[in-house]
Amino acid sequence: MKKIFFSLGLLLIFSIQSCFASSLDIPAKGYGISFGNSKKLTGIRLNFVDEGVEKVTGINLTFWKPKDNLEFQMNGFAFGLFGPKAMTINGLALGGVGVVAQQVNGGSLGLIGMTTTVINGVAIGGIGIFNGSFKGVAIGGFGMVNGEFKGIGVGGIGVANENQLGIAIGGIGVIGEDLAGVSVGGIGVAAHNSIKGIAIGGYGIGSSKISGIAIAGLRIKTKELKGVGIGAYCRVKRELKGLTVGIFNHAENLNGIQIGLLNYCKNNPKYLKLLPLINIHID
């Protein structure tokens, strides 16, 4: 019986949309329960394909892939078997495939993933999340790609943030331009410009500049290190200010301490450049 009513409901929605390209609103236009492609509604809206929607406050249920909704502002709960598509979503959005929006403020879940420009809140993508600016908590089954990222991000395979401030955990790795906060990669952490905070890589860590604590299973490679580096091979090409601990430590310009089986400090006197166990140079 439930299946019969559900099928009749879908048929009613599709018939209204096909015949009138509009909607049936009960009790009044724009208010209550709407069947069809209503442009504005406060209440509960059921539609087959959203197109040209302007504003919905309440609940929006869509049963197929939406078309262009360039001005659509959704306030409340949006669900789509394919996925919600709007300019702005304030509230909760769930998509059988994904969520597409210019901005999401609240929570969003896409079984495959989501593509947005701005997310403020919690986002979960079955495969991944592709986003311009993110603030909050993000979980991507495989991974995520963000421009500006502030918050906590977890990617099954990896996390790629152009600029990061917060915590990022990637099954394989974390990469970006500038990483600040805590970055943990199963294989490694790599930043083109800088790493600030704590970085942990199963195999290695690499960046032009590292400020903070870097811990790698095998290798740390950087031009400048200010802080602490721990890894089997610690290679600082320019300046080390702080401490490195490893099997072999190598620094062109040391202002601190090296502890390891072998320690090389180029700016030490000739017979003190390569020493076992410990090497020190403090300006």
Split the chain (283 residues) into runs of 10 and give each run's mean pLDDT.
47 46 86 95 95 96 91 96 93 93 94 89 92 94 92 95 96 97 97 98 97 98 98 97 98 97 96 96 92
What is the pLDDT at residue 113?
Answer: 84
Which pTM does this prediction carry? 0.85
Q: Quick check: 206 and 222 in contact, CB under 8 A?
A: yes
* Tokens linked to 157: 């395979």
β-pair type (128-140, 113-125): parallel
Q: Quick check: 44 and 26 in contact, CB under 8 A?
A: no
Label residue 88 exposed, middle or buried (CB < 10 Å: 0-12, 13-18, 19+): middle
* Tokens linked to 75: 């306030």
Is residue 269 helix, strand or coil? coil
CA 9 vs. chain centroid, Å, equals: 38
Which value, to the nearest 10 degrees, does the dihedral of the CA atoms of residues 134, 137, 142, 148 take?
20
Residue 197 and residue 161: Cα distance in Å, rounded? 15
Place of tokens 């394919």: 82
What is the pLDDT at residue 20?
Answer: 40
Q: In terms of Cα–Cα distance, which of 32, 54, 53, 34 is closest to 45? A: 34
Strand partners, 43: 32, 58
Is residue 270 helix, strand or coil? helix
